[in-house]
Amino acid sequence: MHYCKHYKLIASLHGLPRLNYEQTRRLLNIISIESRINELEQHEALFTDQKALWKRKEALKETLFQLTKLEAPYRLLDEMIELSQSD
């Protein structure tokens, strides 16, 4: 959950960044997906169908990759701020 932790730190130190609608949606999707992956990993032992669990986690990780391209959290946030200002 390194994106969530980074954004939480930035928000507590500097307040929320000014993002346009598209980048706000992107940020919220990243946070949501990271939270879902974390939840699945924490409760992994409760799932009887491990193959289905693995598929779901991989699908979420792929979506997260599409949103972040595995960019470092600080670089991604800088990019999102820059894209918001160019509108």
Amino acid residing at 58:
E
pLDDT tens, position by position, 1-11: 899 999 999 99
- Per the structure, the complete domain to which residue 12 belongs is given by 2-85
50 CB-near residues (< 8 Å, 6+ apart): 44
pTM, entire model: 0.91
pLDDT of residue 78: 96
> Following DSSP, what letter does each residue of 36-54 receive, concatenated?
HHHHHHHTGGG-S-HHHHH
Q: Would you give per-residue pLDDT tens digits along the chain (87 residues)?
A: 899 999 999 999 999 999 999 999 999 999 999 999 999 999 998 999 999 999 999 999 999 999 999 999 999 999 999 999 986
Count of structural domains within the chain: 1
